[in-house]
Amino acid sequence: MFEKVLIANRGEIAVRAIRACRELGIKTVAIYSEADRDSMHVKLADESVCIGPAEPSKSYLDIPSIMSAAEISMVDAIYPGYGFLAENPKFAEISQKSGIKFVGPSADTLELIGNKLKAKEVARKVGLPLVPGSEGAVDLSDAIEVAREIGYPVVLKAASGGGGRGIRIVMNEKELLEKLPVAMHEAELSFGDDRIYVEKFIIRPKHVEFQILADGKGKVVSLGERECSIQRRHQKLIEESPCVAVNEDKRREIEQRVIRFCEEIGYEGAGTVEFLMDEGGEFYFMEMNGRIQVEHPVSEMITGTDIVKWQFKVAAGEELEISDVERRGYAIEFRINAEDPDTFAPSPGLIEELFLPGGMGVRVDTHIYQGYAVPPNYDSLLAKVIVWGKDREEAISRGLRALEEVRISGRGLKVNTEFHKRVLLSREFREGNHHIGFVEEMLI
């Protein structure tokens, strides 16, 4: 096992990783920006290094600064978490060339799955169902031809996009003529790659993803699926497991194909294979994320598997000891964000009152504390409230109770707990009829 790990992230995922390391007997080094000097992950780590100012480009995205921190701290591994550099092939490659283990997939694997077109080629090879669309990148004439063939509406996607970015919905040919050049320009600015591909836009789909663990030695295990349909502007807000709309036969069918996909690319570590599911229950491959997900705790709650610990174990060369994973009950995660519950506008500020829920079947992952000043420079996530119940009905009831107990307030600070309660009380959510456009519909 590793002796010392650098946590190349911030916030709750950094705290989560430090806790896993402590249980494994690994010493930790936190990196932090000047804005995060008083953050909890800095207080909990064995050592800490300031890597730059608040701007992410000059701190958490600055590879030379992070590698310098790793070298002066003499770590033998780097844990990237999610966001920032977690899926950056260059970061993984530099880490490996420096003799420091990157806790995650190889640079080559990250390169492959980060290219949506290449990932779709592998998905096609192993029999994963694909959304009808172009087989590769398109120019304007190709896009017009494909759209006419599959029918409108269609969606334009950046070949190197991710995190819900680089997506544009097109309702007709006039919009296609207008939006494709803009989408290509934005893709070039955001990802350094202006390639765009076209897919059929599926009406009212659910977003379903399968959590996997792989040891890089040929063993891949599925921890089941999560539904992440409650989202706004492609950013997830509520996640649950299992998906109420997936039957056992379909679950096993997709799981086997997901496992074959991961075997084909020689995957190592934790990751998710993501799908859209239409109203008829058919699945369509979207992408693979080569990192831990914000919503991983719901899979941990129903399987009893510590996914983050296994990331470290696998990276250290251990073989997966998991085979048949028993799934029990139902879990839901709520992202508690520093934002207005009605407008979703960011709302950073000083936390003057803090009370977080507890009790049977409730877990909270967070990096905040009373007196903590929420900085405006980063993602608005403050905490994740995760609840477990013997079935979905109990999980929803427990979720409502836990949300009622959340007290986070202070100067200039608002949180989105009221939004979550509105979702849980809605008929569509309770009946499992929600979809990825539900939040926008609810707000109209």
The CATH number that applies at residue 49 is: 3.40.50.20
**275 and 393 in a common domain:** yes
Question: Does residue 431 sit within a domain?
Answer: yes
Closest by Cα among 438, 437, 425 to 399: 425
**249 and 305 in a common domain:** yes
Beta-ladder partners of 381: 337
Question: Does residue 252 sit within a domain?
Answer: yes
Provide the pLDDT for residue 164. Answer: 62
**212 and 172 in a common domain:** no
Question: Does residue 311 sit within a domain?
Answer: yes
Q: Which amino acid is at 65?
A: S
Which segments of the chain have a pLDDT < 70?
162-164, 444
Provide the pLDDT for residue 163. Answer: 59
Which tens digits make up the pLDDT trace of 339-350? 998 888 999 999
Domains contained in the chain, number: 3
In this structure, the number of other CB atoms found within 10 A of the CB of residue 350 comes to 14
Provide the pLDDT for residue 290. Answer: 97
Half-sphere exposure of 104 (CA within 13 A, CB side): 30
For residue 268, give the CATH number of its domain. Answer: 3.30.470.20
**211 and 181 in a common domain:** no
Q: Which pTM value belongs to this model?
A: 0.91
Question: Does residue 215 sit within a domain?
Answer: yes
Among 26, 57, 88, give the residue marking a domain's end: 88
**190 and 293 in a common domain:** no
Provide the pLDDT for residue 252. Answer: 95
**180 and 213 in a common domain:** no
Among 55, 88, 121, give the residue marking a domain's end: 88
**397 and 253 in a common domain:** yes
For residue 144, give the CATH number of its domain. Answer: 3.30.1490.20
Provide the pLDDT for residue 342. Answer: 85
Question: Does residue 246 sit within a domain?
Answer: yes
Which residues are catalytically annotated? Answer: 291
Angle (CA) 418 277 380, round 5°: 35
**390 and 306 in a common domain:** yes
**137 and 54 in a common domain:** no
**190 and 55 in a common domain:** no
Which tens digits make up the pLDDT trace of 115-125? 988 999 999 99
**Structural domain range at position 433:** 206-443
**228 and 186 in a common domain:** no
Question: Does residue 255 sit within a domain?
Answer: yes
Angle (CA) 59 65 69, round 5°: 110
Provide the pLDDT for residue 167. Answer: 85
Question: Does residue 151 sit within a domain?
Answer: yes
**292 and 214 in a common domain:** yes
Among 88, 107, 123, give the residue marking a domain's end: 88
Encoded tokens for 356: 């977080």
Provide the pLDDT for residue 162. Answer: 66
Question: Does residue 146 sit within a domain?
Answer: yes
